[in-house]
Structures are given as C-alpha cells and as structure tokens.
Amino acid sequence: MSQQPTLCYEFGPFRLDTAQRILLRDGQHISLTPKAYETLFALVENSGRIMDKEYLLNRVWPDTFIEEMTLAKNISTLRKVLAEGNGIREYIETIPKRGYRFAAEVKAVENESATLIREEQTFLQNGGEEENLALRSVRLLPAAGTVQANNGQYHRSIPTEKSGENANGLLHPKRAFVLGGTVVILVIIGIIFGSRQRQNQSNNLSTQTPPQTVKLHPLTNSGNITTAAISPDGKYVAYARLDSGQQSLWLRQTAIASHVQIAPPVQASYSGLTFTPDGNYLYYVKDAALYQMPVLGGTTKKLIAKVAGAVTFSPNGQQLAFVRDDQNQGETAIIKVNTDGSGEQKLAQRQRPSLIFGSAAWTPDGGSITFSATNADASGGQVSLFSVRIADGTETELTSQRWRHIPSLAWLADASGLILTARDRDSAAGSPYQVWHLAYPSGEARRITNDLQGYRSLSLTADAQTLITVQENRLINLWTTTPEDPARAQQIVAKIGPDHEPHNIGWTSDGKIVYTSSANGNEDIWLTESDGSNLKQITMAPHSDDNPAASPDGRYIVFRSQDHRSGASAIWRMDSDGGNLKQLIGGNWPDCSSDGQWVFYTTNQSGISTVWKIAMEGGTPIQLTTKHSVRPAVSPDGKMFACLYKKDLGDGPAVLAIIPAEGGEPIQYFEHILTPVRWTPDGRAVTYIDTREGVSNLWSQPLAGGPLRPLTSFQSETIFSFAWSRDGNRLALVRGLVSKDIVLISNFR
C-alpha cells in the first residue's frame, strides 16, 4: 500500500473532493446521488472539452443499457445543485446534437489528507512462474491534459500515447484492453460470490438477475412524479406530479416527449391511475374516492367512496374491482362493481390484524381476481398471493412463496404469470421494492429489477410487452445543527440509507446519537458521537431493528425489531451499550417516559392501532387510547404524550392530539399537524416536519397557542426524522434527497 497526494477540483464556490467522492460548497457538503457525482466528475475533470453523450453514458453506466434521458436527468439535477438559471453563471453547457461541456474555469489542487491505494496481486503464469501485476489507480485528467507538479505548482501538459493515453485523454487501447480484462474477471468473481450468497439466503426464492435484453427507458426527469399508468395500447402515459405542494394530472406520449396537463393543480393526493381497457377514460383515486374522467381531460365524475389503491378492470371492460379499507369494521376487502359504481359485491375479506394489501388484478379469463394478503397460516403476517373466484367466492393460494409486502400486481395477457412490485421476506425492512416476474402455475419468482432504487407501482400494456413504474431514489444522511443557527447544519454520517422508511432517532443522556442505518445491508441500531466519530453498531442481523429511543436515565435503549421472514414486530430493550437484549411486547414506535420507568408504543389488538404503555422491566401492558392513534411522543415532564389521532373512524387524516399520560380522551388538538412530533426540551411546544416540493423544514407549535415559528429554512432536501438533544442545544436530523420518475421497462419476459 502506497500513499500519494490526490486531486480536488475547485470551481467558483465549489470543491469536488475525489478522495471522499463528495461535492462541497463553501465548505458545506451537498448531497449527490452516486451517478450524479460520477457525471459531474467526468465533466469537471474534462473541463473545456465537449464530452459526447455516448462517452458519458459508457463511463457513468458501464455495461448497462441506459437511455440518453437518464443522462439528461443527471445533468438537470446537477444544474439545480449548482444553482444555474438564477442569475448565476452557467457551469454546464449543452452542445446541440453532440453532448455537454463544463464551461467554468477549474483549478486542480492537491488533497494531502487523501491516499491512493495500490494493491498488488500475484498471478500464476507460464507453468507456475509468478508475475506481479499492479492494479493501478487510473485518473482521467482535466481538459487540456494531465496535471503535473513542478516545484509545488501544478500545470497542464498535453497527453501522448507514450504516457498511456491518446489525444482524446483516454487510455491507450492496449492498456485499456488489459485493464478492462482484469476488471471483467473481478466483476465475474463478484457476481458468482454474490449469487451464492443470495441463493443461501433466499429460501428457494429465485433472485436471478434479469435477462440481458431488459431495457429501462426514463420518461421523466423532474423528480416529482407520484403515480403513473400506461394506456392499453402503450401510446400514452398518465401521471400525477407534485409542484408547490399541489398535485396535477398530465398525459404524455411514450414515443414523443410531449406532455399535456389534463387536470389542474389541487391540494389533494392522486393515486391508483388506471386506463379503461378501451383507453377512452382514466380512473383515479383522490382522498380515498374513485373518480372517472376522459383521457384528454374534461368533466370528472365521482363514483365510489372508500377505495384504497388502483382498480382493476374485467377483460370485457364492464366491471372493476378494488381493495377497500373499512376502518369502522376493522376490515379490508375485495369489492367488485360495475364501471359506473353500481352493483357492489364483496368477494373476499380479512379482519385486522390480517390485511389485504395494495391493488388487485383480474385474471385474463375473467373468472377470478388476484390479490395479496396476510397468510392466515403464517405467524407474524407473511404475505402471499390469492385468487378469489367470482362465481362462488372460493379462494385459492397461488404460490408457496412468501413476501414482506406486495403493493401492486398485474397478470400477463397469456396468463403465464404475474408482474408485481414486492419486497421479499428475506430482505431488510428498509430495502427497496423491486419489480418481479412470478411464473404461473410453477410459482417460480425472479427479479426484473435488482438495484438500489425502489419500485412500488406498476402498469402493463394490454399485450403485456411493456410496463411502466415510478422509480424512487433516496440518499439519506445524518446531520446535526443548532437551534440558534440551523442553516449551518453539518453532515456527520453519510449514506445511512437508502432507507425507504422514515425512522426515529434519539439522543442518549451522555450526548450520543442513536439511529437506524442500513449501511451494512441490514437495518440495525447504531451509536455515534455528535460529531460523527466513534461509530458503533449495537444490533446485528437477522432482524430489522429501527425506531430507537434512549431512556432519559441513560440505562436503556428501546427499539422495534421486525423479523425478516414473518414480518412480526416487537418492542425490545437493551442496555445503552447494546447488551442484555430483552423482548418486552409486540408493537411499534416506542418512546420512553421521562423517568425511564415506562415504554409507550403503538399496537393493533382490536382491529385499529392504539397507544399502550408497558413497564421498562416488562409486565402487563396498559391501554391508553381506544381510537385510532399512532406514534406516541412523551412530554419532558412525563405528564402528557402527543400522538397522531383520529377523532372518528372515518377516512380523513389523523391530526395531532395531546393526551394525559394515564390515558383517556385528548385534552388538546392541532388540526394542521399531520406528521409525528417531538417535544421541545422545555415542554412548552411540539415541533414537526413540514415538507413542500420535496424540501422539508422544522416548525414549532406552542401548546399555549399563538403563531407557528419556523426553526429551519433549508432550500433543499427532505427531513425524515429529527430529535432534540437533552439540553436543547442541538438538533439531529435524518435528511436527504428523494427523486421519483417514470421508467418504461421492455424486453423483460
């Protein structure tokens, strides 16, 4: 191992650190996805030179078929990060029909704190003779040539083929071939090793990667798409997008990037977009009600209430089915109706805690409807696929495979199988959903996608040759800041995600931060100092552990642990260093009382979620609420707790309620707070997250009433959770980037 100085690139107020692979602006870290960083790196180190699109695609996505739209999306993201278009200079130029050029002056400086690692590997050649072959760190250098040191000063020189590069700044073909061959061998070894690991963990669930011919084609690059559907003939895509806190409906052609707004922005949430089989109408769900509208816009008709998720149409287009979540009855059910909303019929149902999830799919022969639901024979709520026969209500389980969750599914036109988005039961709770193919009747499952992005929804064309899905990408980091100067937030731990669930974090009595991270491939509880030093993992696989809360007396940390295979959730207690694990009770979202004697939590024992408490040492639990209530937060003096609460069992959102610690009816409501809260250390106010256009900030609501007070004024990124230090002098934030766009997938069968 040898140490050499590495380079950083400076332009304007920015610094690109190639050792840490981060971008800084005036010393503050700016979050970038790995591919966005690679795109910027390629442009910056070749500043002043036109970089054609094919080169950039091959460099940033080697050995992967990617459309130019993906590159354009990365360029758009970078321009937003670099604040172009606001009277600030243009850093990235578009060269029509050619590519892109980094136009700013770039200065290369030495980063003395970083090191390059050169690993020497020994290969046996020529009948057992050994030859040392160094795998060298290769760096493509700035536009005019390589950067070389001369008496401590850096200057450019024109590369020649003698130095191993050609006039275009690329590796000489022979050296590139040798290096490429070495990389290919290592990649093959990695693939084989990874495949064996997955097979050992899969419990007969096939996780083979998709065929080489699978193609992913991005259709949007705005990052603010919430849901989408493709027309039966594949010519159009309808989608909802979020702008300035409002959602609107749009239609675009798949072959041509032509977009038309078909419904204006409203303060509502669209979901479950579905085209009718003839392609003339669009059905969608808004505020748990089903609506119908002409595809090109026009008069909208409300059809049915209490609809959860996308509808599915019968093959003849005369009927539809959907999932209904009736909280009054504590029941989820499959409902069949005529397309005008008449003739309602219940076909299948589950009583809580068993559930029917997501959307349903009509079988191609028209005789049954397929849905995902809790497996009645499995403890802890494993999920499987079932079909209910319309003629007599007989249910059949389609496969022996078990899953953690299946939010959407669709049958292939020839009934040879289904396409679904799912998280398999062996993956961590926070792992991303993938698109799967499930063969029928064999039940063999394989992934169509297998990456760090998430895919929750899908829509198929009538011939089942093309599908679209909304691809979600998250990059989550841990930050700290002060209430006095929140704008000077500092990132202390990078990439604790990709984390697809918002999780609680907390402070210990001695000033450490306890949080959830999936950095090692599984969701576990970690500890760190407030500056990000002394990272320590204190829980281990095979379970997913999250939502940690430290007791004020410094003795314990309580958390939720979820079994990968059964899906069962339980509240656990451990010593502050991770020792002496003890399961307390089944439940979610734990919080500690101010005296450290009680654990408040949410559970579902009577068909609805309610708040309970149990002694820190265990024992008989005590019920505190009887109506729907989740995510308790105990006040600093221990006299009250706040939670999200429904005054009745309707379909409206839960609002914030303040309830005595002994339980009973709420003593105060805050109708405008719809997210979990944390108490300020003095107990006089609650603080919560308000997210608009993908940007989150913290607000404070005094219990005595009065105006809201903003605590932060961030201009980018989403806050997923936060916590006050015990002394109230610092805030910890789980914060990062969220991007959602439509991806068209073809050649997946």
Q: Is the dihedral of CA 189, 191, 195, 198 positive or negative?
A: positive
Question: Which stretch of 89-93, 562-566, 642-646 has the lowest confidence by average pLDDT?
Answer: 562-566
Residues 299 and 208 in one domain: yes
Q: CATH number for the domain including 151?
A: 1.10.10.10
pLDDT, position 170: 38
> pLDDT, tens digit, for every residue of 578-606?
999 999 999 999 999 999 999 999 998 76
Identify the residue with better confidence: 208 or 649: 649
Among residues 558, 550, 560, which one has the least CA distance to residue 511?
Answer: 550
pLDDT, position 501: 57
Pairing of strands 466-481, 50-52: unpaired
**DSSP at 674:** -
> pLDDT, tens digit, for every residue of 16-27?
988 778 888 888
Residues 134 and 157 in one domain: yes
Among residues 564, 457, 464, which one has the least CA distance to residue 225?
Answer: 457
Residues 393 and 419 in one domain: yes
pLDDT, position 400: 84
179 phi and psi angles, rounded to 5 deg: -65, -45
Euclidean distance between CA atoms 613 and 593, whole angstroms:
9
Residues 481 and 448 in one domain: no
Token pair belonging to 487: 């704008």
Token pair belonging to 275: 């085209």
Q: Is residue 212 in some structural domain?
A: yes
> pLDDT, tens digit, for every residue of 37-62?
889 999 998 888 888 888 888 888 87
Q: Which residue spans within 28-165 are E strands per DSSP?
A: 28-30, 50-52, 92-95, 99-102, 107-111, 119-125, 129-135, 146-150, 153-157
pLDDT at 155 over 50: no
For residue 210, whether the previous peptide bond is cis, meaning omega lies within 30 degrees of 0, is no
Q: How confident is the model at residue 651 (pLDDT cuts 50, 70, 90)?
A: low
Packed helices 68-81 and 53-60: angle between N→C axes, nearest 10 degrees: 90
User: Which of 439, 465, 491 represents a domain boundary (last residue)?
Assistant: 465
Q: Which whole number is the average pLDDT over 393-407?
A: 89
Token pair belonging to 89: 């200079």
Identify the residue with better confidence: 380 or 266: 266
> pLDDT, tens digit, for every residue of 695-731?
889 999 999 988 899 999 998 888 999 999 999 999 9
Q: Is the dihedral of CA 404, 410, 415, 416 positive or negative?
A: negative
Residues 311 and 348 in one domain: yes
Residues 510 and 555 in one domain: yes
Q: Is residue 184 in some structural domain?
A: no
Euclidean distance between CA atoms 628 and 651, whole angstroms:
11
Token pair belonging to 357: 């999830």
pLDDT, position 352: 77
Contacts of 413 (CB under 8 A, 6+ apart): 364, 462, 463, 464
Q: Give the full edge-to-edge strand order of the sheet including 556-562.
A: 544-550, 556-562, 569-575, 582-586
Euclidean distance between CA atoms 693 and 80, whole angstroms:
14
Residues 400 and 531 in one domain: no
Q: How confident is the model at residue 376 (pLDDT cuts 50, 70, 90)?
A: low
Contacts of 13 (CB under 8 A, 6+ apart): 25, 26
Residues 575 and 599 in one domain: yes
Q: Which residue spans within 221-344 are E strands per DSSP?
A: 225-230, 236-243, 246-253, 259-266, 270-275, 281-286, 289-294, 301-305, 308-313, 319-326, 331-338
Token pair belonging to 725: 């230090």
**Which amino acid, residue 706?**
G
pLDDT, position 650: 62
Mean of the per-residue pLDDT values for the chain? Answer: 81
The segment with the largest mean pLDDT, out of 144-158, 307-321, 342-356, is 307-321
CB atoms inside a 10 Å sphere around CB 25: 14
Residues 446 and 496 in one domain: no
Q: Is residue 624 in some structural domain?
A: yes
> pLDDT, tens digit, for every residue of 97-115?
788 888 888 888 876 443 3
Euclidean distance between CA atoms 171 and 159, whole angstroms:
10
Token pair belonging to 537: 């993992």
Residues 710 and 686 in one domain: yes
Q: Is residue 189 in some structural domain?
A: no
| Overall number of domains in the chain | 3
pLDDT, position 45: 86
Token pair belonging to 64: 């992967």
Residues 284 and 352 in one domain: yes
Which class for 360: exposed (0-12), middle (13-18), buried (19 or more C-beta within 10 A)? buried
pLDDT, position 371: 96
Q: Is residue 194 in some structural domain?
A: no
Token pair belonging to 514: 């306890």
Among residues 263, 264, 284, which one has the least CA distance to residue 274?
Answer: 284
> pLDDT, tens digit, for every residue of 619-645?
999 999 999 999 999 999 999 999 999
pLDDT at 190 over 70: no
Q: Is residue 370 in some structural domain?
A: yes
Q: CATH number for the domain including 350?
A: 2.120.10.30
Reported as half-sphere exposure (CB side, CA atoms, 13 A), residue 243 has a value of 10
Q: Is residue 182 in some structural domain?
A: no
User: Which of 123, 147, 170 represents a domain boundary (last residue)?
Assistant: 170
- E strand or H helix at 176: helix 173-201
pLDDT, position 743: 94
Reported as half-sphere exposure (CB side, CA atoms, 13 A), residue 85 has a value of 6
> pLDDT, tens digit, for every residue of 665-679?
999 999 999 899 999
Is residue 285 within 8 A of residue 272, CB to CB? The reply is: yes
**Which amino acid, residue 461?**
T
For residue 636, whether the previous peptide bond is cis, meaning omega lies within 30 degrees of 0, is no
Q: Specify the 3-state DSSP secondary structure of 60.
A: helix
pLDDT, position 564: 55
User: Which of 414, 437, 465 represents a domain boundary (last residue)?
Assistant: 465
Residues 258 and 166 in one domain: no
Q: What is the share, in percent, of the chain residues with pLDDT greater than 70? A: 80
Among residues 456, 558, 451, which one has the least CA distance to residue 501?
Answer: 456
Euclidean distance between CA atoms 537 and 524, whole angstroms:
7
Q: Is residue 176 in some structural domain?
A: no
Among residues 524, 586, 514, which one has the least CA distance to residue 550?
Answer: 514
DSSP line for 12-55: TTEEEETTTTEEEETTEEE---HHHHHHHHHHHTTTTSEEEHHH
Residue burial 158-197, b: 16+ Cβ < 10 Å; e: rest: ebeeeebbeeebebbeeeeeeeeeeeeeeeeeeeeeeeee
- E strand or H helix at 718: strand 718-724
pLDDT, position 95: 83
Q: Specify the 3-state DSSP secondary structure of 517.
A: strand
Q: What is the residue range of 672's domain?
A: 474-741
Q: How confident is the model at residue 402 (pLDDT cuts 50, 70, 90)?
A: confident
Euclidean distance between CA atoms 293 and 276, whole angstroms:
10
> pLDDT, tens digit, for every residue of 276-294?
999 999 999 998 899 999 9
C-alpha distances (whole Å) from 339 to each of 84, 236, 307, 344, 621 are 48, 22, 14, 10, 47
Contacts of 258 (CB under 8 A, 6+ apart): 252
